[in-house]
A and B are shown apart, each in its own frame.
Chain A
Amino acid sequence: MNKDILVVIEHIRGEVADISYMMIAAARQLAETTEGEVLAVLMGSGVENLAGNLAADKVIYFEDPQLADFTSSTYQQTLEILISEVNPRAVILGHTSIGMEVASLLSAKSDLPLVSTCLSFSGENGLIKFTSQLYGGKILAEGLIPEPIALLTMVPGGYKPEDGQSSTPPLVTTAAPPQFTDLQISIKQYIEPETGDVDITLQPLLIAVGRGIQLEDNIEIAEELAEAIGGVVCASRPVVDQGWLPTSRLVGKSGYRVKPKVYLALGISGAPEHTEGIAGSETIIAINTDPAAPIFNIAKYGVVEDIFDLVPLLTEKIEES
């Protein structure tokens, strides 16, 4: 019976993504049920130091120049071999622009069952239950993770990154990846994010607008509040895709991950794409007309009101005081 839990560590440009620590935290919980070990897999070139604070029992580090940049093929081929050698109970990957595609490729190529968008897990009597976020977080689905080996992709929200960190460095084994075959993808260059605007990752107070803002003109009400209270306006994907705010203000999976003291979400439903970017916020306050909006699940304070009624009033009151 397989027991160990593999966690595929995500890192980009020398930094471990928060989701990796959350995955370790989840793996720790699973390993208790399966009575196995948490094995972190780190792939890259010259990034051994990234393993330092992972709360894993063991880190398997694949060092290879061809792993320096992420491509789905190299990751998939490395993991395919590793999985067949380790026979883990589960492999956890981020439901991200790295983990998601690797997991799906592996599922097809190695014929392994995959459960995506997992929010949390629970184990009883050796069985592991997944809770997965579907339909933009509006629905949760539960089921047992398939036997014997399951691939799991995880969204943030269920675990805290600090639970996946440890001050004692884990045991790191360096390994060589397999001989890669049929590599078709090569990196030409990285394109840096636009700069020159404010750096939203450094702001203590962010006021975020989402689809609920409806019209470009309405962003004004958020700008006015931001000006009154001294915050910065940021947005979820639909707003930026419309070109209403620059990419430098985009929060979420495809945007920035922010860590403000207070994140005030205006008319944001809380789809996983977005919440992935705000998991590091200290306090999330959400205002939304839809009481079932998933944003309320991660918010500390919630207000079920129309932003167009409440926000101008709030601005007015702040200006008065």
Chain B
Amino acid sequence: MNIVVLAKLVPDLVEELEIDDSGIALDMTWLRLIINELDDHAIEEAILLKERTGANVTVLAPDIEGVDDILFTAAAKGADRLIKIVGDYESGVNNLGLARVLTPVIKDLQPDLILAGVEAHEDLDGSIGPLLAGYLDLPFIGYVASIELEEGKATATKEYPGGLSAEMEVALPVVLGIQVADEPPRYVAVSKVRQAMKTAEIEELEAGDFDLSGGPTIDRMYQPEVGESATIIDGSLDDIADSLIGIFKELGVQ
């Protein structure tokens, strides 16, 4: 059983985001790139599946600054193979472009299961998982919260709004978009990651030229006006509390 997990780095929202001079992209000077949270769940799910079924896990990621860290961390968790896709990401690569490059790579890997975080907060042209499924002509199930593997098929639990979920059976190979892993992503001790850096190997594959066509173009990027619609209540804590109580009364909830 071969599992391929896609992981990518996205800006850390803990940092304040700023727009660069071009006005159509984030200012990357201060930005910290971290693994897309849902991709982290996808890696965890893959490792859990490996622990249950002995599957072989390959983690695939675009070669963006910091990618070695997330790949070695995955290795420390138990991933068997690490691959980064080397290319020119400087001017921005959309999901379409990435999916087109990944399609032949993944075909070569002949996976039974392809996992990715169901979305990333920077996606503007769709999510990488279903885009890949489209190019690979494979079925896709998203918002998956749990996976069971059997011979030739998988049972995925897909989450719907309102706490409802559905158990779906699907023939392998399949692309699954992970919403949450069966268990929260595990902690990896720093020394284990450092050890992985010494022992694990990251394979490099050339992306060639990205074909970004079809994605939308951004003309302007901006931070929403603070509280455009909201009436901001300020003053001392005391005053604020009093105003809030006033509002509660007015709205009839107290």
A residues in contact (CB < 8 Å) with B: 12-13, 17, 69, 71-73, 96-98, 100-109, 111-117, 129-130, 132, 134-146, 150-151, 153, 184-194, 201, 204-205, 229-231, 241-242, 247-248, 250, 253-257, 261-262, 269, 271, 276-277, 282-283, 285-286, 291-292, 294, 296-305, 309-310, 313-314, 317-318, 321
Picked from A114, A257, A299, A318, the residue with its CB within 8 Å of the CB of B254 is A318
Contacts of A140 on B, CB cut-off 8 Å? 221-224
Report how far A192 CA is from B167 CA in the complex, Å: 11
Q: Within the complex, what minimum Cβ distance (angstroms) separates A154 from chain B?
A: 13
The answer, yes or no, to whether B105 is at the interface (CB within 8 Å) is: no
**Interface residue? B87 (CB, 8 A):** no
Q: How far is the CB of B44 from chain A (nearest CB, A)?
A: 12
Residues on the A chain within 8 Å of B167, using CB: 187-191
Residue of B nearest to A110 (CB): B134
**B133 contacts A97, CB within 8 Å?**
no
- Flag whether B240 is at the interface (Cβ < 8 A): yes
Question: A113-B125, A185-B139 in contact; A302/B233 too (CB < 8 A)?
Answer: yes
CA distance A3 to B141 in the complex (A): 32
Main secondary structure of the interface of A (DSSP, over half): mixed
Q: Of the 9-residue stretches B46-54, B56-64, B70-78, B151-159, which lies at the interface with chain A? A: B151-159
Contact A100:B142 (CB < 8 A) given known A107-B125, A132-B124: yes
Interface residues of B in 163-192 (CB under 8 A from A): 163-171, 174, 177, 179-180, 184
How far, in angstroms, from A301 to B164 measured CA to CA in the complex?
A: 32
Minimal beta-carbon separation of B33 from chain A (angstroms): 12
B-side contacts of A292, CB under 8 Å: 16, 223-224, 226
Counting chain B residues whose Cβ lies within 8 A of the other chain, the interface size class is 35 or more
Q: Would you call B131 an interface residue if the criterion is a C-beta within 8 Å of the partner chain's C-beta atoms?
A: yes
Which residues on the A side are within 8 Å of B225 (C-beta)?
A: 297
CB distance from A236 to the nearest CB of B (A): 13
Distance in angstroms between the alpha carbons of A229 and B160 in the assembled complex? 31
Q: Are B231 and A296 in contact (CB under 8 A)?
A: no
Contacts A72-B141, A135-B11, A303-B233 known; A146 to B214 CB distance under 8 Å? yes
Complex CA–CA separation, A276 to B126 (angstroms)? 18
Q: How far is the CB of A136 from chain B (nearest CB, A)?
A: 5
Q: Contact at A186–B169, with CB atoms within 8 Å? A: yes
Known A-B contacts: A301-B231, A318-B245. Give 8 more (CB < 8 A): A105-B134, A108-B131, A112-B214, A113-B215, A136-B121, A142-B220, A186-B168, A285-B244
Interface status of B21 (Cβ within 8 A of chain A): no
**Residues of A contacting B208 in the complex (Cβ-Cβ under 8 angstroms):** none
B124, A117: Cβ atoms under 8 Å?
yes
Question: Which of B122, B180, B216, B229 neighbours the largest number of chain A CB atoms within 10 Å of its CB?
Answer: B216
> Are B253 and A143 touching (Cβ within 8 A)?
no
For chain B residues 212-244, which have a beta carbon within 8 Å of chain A? 214-234, 237-238, 240-242, 244
A-B contact count (CB 8 A): 294
Q: Is the CB of A139 within 8 A of B218?
A: no
Does B162 contact A135, Cβ atoms closer than 8 Å? no
In the complex the two chains form, is A144's CB within 8 Å of B227's CB?
no
| Pairs A–B under 8 Å by Cβ, sample size 11 | A113-B215, A135-B17, A144-B216, A144-B219, A191-B167, A201-B162, A242-B184, A254-B161, A292-B226, A302-B230, A317-B245
Q: How far is the CB of B244 from chain A (nearest CB, A)?
A: 6
List the A side residues contacting B141 at CB < 8 Å.
71-72, 101, 185
Cα–Cα, bound, A49→B159 (Å): 25
Q: How far is the CB of B192 from chain A (nearest CB, A)?
A: 23
Contact status A113-B164, CB under 8 Å: no
Residues of B within 8 A of A188 (CB): 155, 166-169
Select one of A205, A242, A253 contacting B161, CB under 8 A.
Answer: A253
* Contact call A205/B253, Cβ cutoff below 8 A: yes
Q: B97 at interface (Cβ–Cβ under 8 A)?
A: no
User: Contact flags (1/0) for B132-146 with A, using CB distance below 8 Å?
Assistant: 111100011111000
Chain B residues near A145 (CB-CB < 8 A): 216
Chain A residue nearest to B227 in the complex (CB) = A296
- Given A140-B222, A188-B168, A241-B184 in contact, is the A134-B124 Cβ separation under 8 Å? yes
Whether B164 pairs with A13 at a CB distance below 8 angstroms is yes
A304 and B139 contact, Cβ closer than 8 Å, known pairs A103-B126, A116-B126: no
Interface centre among A13, A96, A114, A137 (most CB of B within 10 A): A114
Cα A230 to Cα B248 in complex, Å, equals 11
| Interface: B92 (CB within 8 A) | no
B13 pairs with A138, CB closer than 8 A: yes
The answer to whether A116 and B125 touch (CB under 8 A), given A73-B139, A135-B17, A256-B162, is: yes
A129 to B218, CA, bound (A): 10
* Residues of chain A contacted by B96 (CB below 8 angstroms): 107-108
Is B170 a contact of A184 with CB atoms below 8 Å?
yes
Among candidates B163, B179, B217, B248, residue contacting A262 with C-beta atoms closer than 8 Å = B248
